[in-house]
Amino acid sequence: MSSDAGPGSETGRAGGAEASDIDRETKAERIRELLATEGDAVAANTRGFNEGRYESTGRLDGYEALKAEARSIKEDAIERLPELIDEVRETVEANGGTVYLADDAADANRYVREVAAERDAERAVKSKSMTSEEIEVNDALAADGVEVVETDLGEWVLQLADEEPSHIVAPAIHKSREGIAALFAERFDPDDPPETAEELTMFARERLGDLIEDADLGMTGANFIAADSGTMLLVTSEGNARKTVTATDTHVAVAGVEKLVPTVEEFSPFVELIGRSGTGQDVTSYISTLTPPVDSPVPDFEDDETPLAADPDGAASDREFHLVLIDNGRLAMRDDETLKETLYCIRCSACSNACGNFQSVGGHAFGGETYSGGIATGWEAGIEGLDTAAEFNDLCTGCSRCVPACPVGIDIPWINTAVRDRINRGEADPSQLDWAFEELVPDEEPGGLDLATRLVGNYATLAKLGHETAPVANRLANAGPLRALAERVVGIDRRRDLPEFARESLVDWFEARGGPAVSETEATREAVVYPDTATNYVDVERGKATVRALEALGVRVRVPDLPGSGRPPLSQGMVATAEAAAEDVYAGLAPHLDAGRDVVVIEPSDLATFRREYERFLPSESYERLADASYDVMEYVFGLLESGADPAALRAPSEGTGPVASGKRIAYHPHCQARTVEVGEYATAVFERLGYDVRVSETECCGMAGSFGYKTDYYELSMDVGEPLREQFGDTDRTVVAPGTSCTEQLDALLDSSPRHPIEVIAPRE
């Protein structure tokens, strides 16, 4: 598959706006097309799954403990993988089966073809397996004249339609019922064409039932395999995997080596988590735990008068079992610190369903050769290579809503960031391990890195420049010809409003007014308000509101000049630049931490960077110190009120007039990353404490996600991701609040209202 991100094309990209212009158009067109054709079906299904996940995991006692247990089983299993491969070979062979460890897809297919040839197989029936899609075994068998029939209803529909899965668990979610009915009518021309879901299902059940009866070979995947017994676990709902195994005398299971766990007992947490995390089912209809060859008699559908159980002692001996374990890049991923975590993935699809972009376009845009959704970047980079990952990797905006959804706690946004960094650097060889922690100065991002990436990545510098030249910069920035140029060269969509830079920064304002206003003796606490780039240079009012609110609650506040957090470069995969920013921020804050001051953060994405990514950039002691001392501003206010501060010092709903005070009723969209670091609920709590009535948005991410929605390729997608927010808050008479700067831009575009930061609503007036 071709890609523009390969090392060879770097010079071409950096050199000409023409080339990237064309790429952008193609990508944008593809996304537009998918939004129009498949978007509605994908959105309805994935959002349903996602709501189901919240409900089902909410019912589960000890959910977080189970996730931790599942994570630790996977860590242990991947650590001991070579040993487990040896063990499972012994146990499967002792059971009478065969194990083949295939180096790659071709090796696996060669083995499966040999098995089929030995058994003179004319037809293979197959239950759903992503690994078998990865190796494209259907094509390999078809080349030998073996007919392969997919028996999962969704996979069968795709096989008939000659389409690719759009979702790793529910492969045909992009197909509507009407589309399937039309497909069946066209392919089979039945007398009484099935139309309802029930009729379509029964039609498929009968057709596939006949095909299964005459099949010679049964192929399955495996969700987990226990090395101690050779037991494989299959998670299904339809019963097709059961029929596939039972009705055929030769069972071939194809599974990645990472599916091994040490013992049968360790299946348990995964069984409890996988359905809940994926489609929101507490457990799927069938959890098959097979220790093949299975003990069932092989039904003879031709001689149908002989009792099934004619030979009670010899039933199992008629059966053959082949376990084909696939490496195909996995053992190399195990040695790659960034990609290794991917091997913990249990393919539940939670990261797809929780993802705003995925909900809008599905796996046909947000996916590679086989895998889709956030974790696909890890799989595709490890199995296919960086070029494939590069085709869709920037659809991960880093909103991080997949992080709490992942049942094995994979930091999926980080894998996307780190792979993006490799793509930026044109690294084709993922075995170079130290790349992330090299002592690289920020200015040494690779020369071929495209201009859009660098501009966004250096937003802190740009914002400072913009503020210093504010009157001119603001006028120029929104001038037509310049916007056209920005769109063509840098890819910033001209339908977006650009941030207007303030003439006086928050830091300058604070210094000009004379520094801290609460004396050391009066102060209940001392805090540093972190002047994030957006607050300091663009939205200074929310910074001033923060200072007023904290001072009203008796906090001695300082606003020192501090560098940007590194969030913008991080979003562009500029890891070395972000790491340097982390070190600078920590250096600037260290004297304040030494003095026992709290760090109050207004922009949620910056707080999330302190609490999540800085763990990778700073020495652990420094990281923990900063993470422990830093607070979201609404979290901080909540804490002050809980510790006895007087809520009367803040603005209650009844006071004053004007658009803000007119409403006791608030519509609140918590920032995606704030929810991931679990500070999203404090604003609600504070509002309610002060007597406001709050309605909280149910949307995972507004769709702007930092710089994502500014990009021309993604403007329509970004607006589509925000659509549920428009539906929920579109005609509300409530005062809309949102703490994230980019959320504010998006809500402005979606609702045509200018939301404020929650602190601006509750801070006392100037």
Partner 1 sequence: MPAGERTIMALADASTFTGRLDELGVAVSAGPPAECAAMIDAAAGEPAVGVPLARSGPDAFADSPATLPDRVGTDPATADLREAHTGVTAASLGVAEYGSVALEADAAGTEPVTLFVDRHVVVLRERDIVPDMPDAFDWLGPRARDESVDVVFATGPSATADMGGLVHGAHGPKEVHVVLLRDGDAADDASGPGDEPEVDR
Torsion angle of the four alpha carbons 564, 568, 569, 570, in this order, in degrees rounded to the nearest 10: 110
CB of 87 to partner 1, least distance (A): 12
Q: Which helix (H) or strand (E) holds 147?
A: strand 147-150
In sign, the C-alpha dihedral spanning 709, 711, 713, 715 is: positive
The interface region with partner 1, picked from 287-295, 330-338, 470-478, 682-690 by CB under 8 A, is 287-295
Window 139 to 198, contacts with partner 1 (CB under 8 A): 151-154, 157, 170, 172, 175-178, 180, 196-198
> Which of the 8 DSSP states describes residue 612?
I
For residues 744 and 755, the answer to whether their CB atoms sit within 8 Å is: yes
Site string for partner 1, 99-138 (x = CB under 8 A): ----------------------------------------
Q: Which is nearer to partner 1, 247 or 618 (CB)?
A: 247
Q: Which residues, listed in sequence order, are joined to residue 98 by a DSSP beta bridge?
A: 322
Residue 282 within binding range of partner 1, rule CB under 8 A: yes
CB of 260 to partner 1, least distance (A): 15
* Phi, then psi, of 553 in degrees rounded to 5: -95, 10
Treating both helix axes as pointing N-terminal to C-terminal, what angle do 412-424 and 575-594 enclose, rounded to 10 degrees? 130
Site string for partner 1, 316-355 (x = CB under 8 A): x---------------------------------------
Which of 106, 202, 484, 590 binds partner 1 (CB under 8 A)? It is 202
CB of 248 to partner 1, least distance (A): 12
CB of 721 to partner 1, least distance (A): 24
Site string for partner 1, 87-106 (x = CB under 8 A): --------x-----------
Supply angle C-alpha 317, 322, 325, rounded to 5. 155
Q: For residues 12 and 129, what is the distance between their CA atoms, to the nearest angstrom?
A: 39
The interface region with partner 1, picked from 13-21, 70-78, 282-290, 583-591 by CB under 8 A, is 282-290
Q: Which is nearer to partner 1, 224 or 392 (CB)?
A: 224
Q: 591-608: b or e for each residue (b if 16 or more CB lie within 10 Å)? A: ebbeeebbbbbbbbbbbb
Q: Which is nearer to partner 1, 157 or 570 (CB)?
A: 157
Here the tokens at position 715 are: 């403007």
The distance of Cα 230 from the centroid of its chain, to the nearest Å, equals 32
The interface region with partner 1, picked from 278-286, 392-400, 401-409, 556-564 by CB under 8 A, is 278-286
Which of 40, 265, 497, 693 binds partner 1 (CB under 8 A)? It is 265
Which of 17, 264, 476, 652 binds partner 1 (CB under 8 A)? It is 264
Strands (E), 640-749: 665-668, 693-696, 735-737
Which of 217, 290, 343, 547 binds partner 1 (CB under 8 A)? It is 290
Residue 63 within binding range of partner 1, rule CB under 8 A: no
In sign, the C-alpha dihedral spanning 227, 217, 165, 369 is: positive
Q: For residues 741 and 322, what is the distance between their CA atoms, to the nearest angstrom?
A: 55
Which of 11, 26, 306, 432 binds partner 1 (CB under 8 A)? It is 306
For residues 746 and 715, the answer to whether their CB atoms sit within 8 Å is: no
Q: What is the largest CA-CA distance in the chain?
A: 98
Which of 19, 271, 477, 627 binds partner 1 (CB under 8 A)? It is 271
**Site for partner 1 (CB under 8 A): how many residues?**
73
Which of 68, 85, 211, 315 binds partner 1 (CB under 8 A)? It is 315
Which of 77, 108, 130, 204 binds partner 1 (CB under 8 A)? It is 204
**CB-side exposure of 257: number of CA atoms within 13 Å?**
29
In sign, the C-alpha dihedral spanning 184, 190, 191, 197 is: negative
The interface region with partner 1, picked from 71-79, 289-297, 365-373, 578-586 by CB under 8 A, is 289-297
CB of 310 to partner 1, least distance (A): 8
The interface region with partner 1, picked from 142-150, 203-211, 351-359, 486-494 by CB under 8 A, is 203-211
User: Which residues, at least 6 apart from 510, have a Cβ–Cβ distance to it below 8 Å?
Assistant: 547, 558, 559
Q: For residues 674 and 737, what is the distance between their CA atoms, to the nearest angstrom?
A: 14
Window 212 to 251, contacts with partner 1 (CB under 8 A): 226, 228-231, 237-240, 242-243, 246
User: Which residues, at least 6 apart from 596, have a Cβ–Cβ distance to it below 8 Å?
Assistant: 526
CB of 203 to partner 1, least distance (A): 9
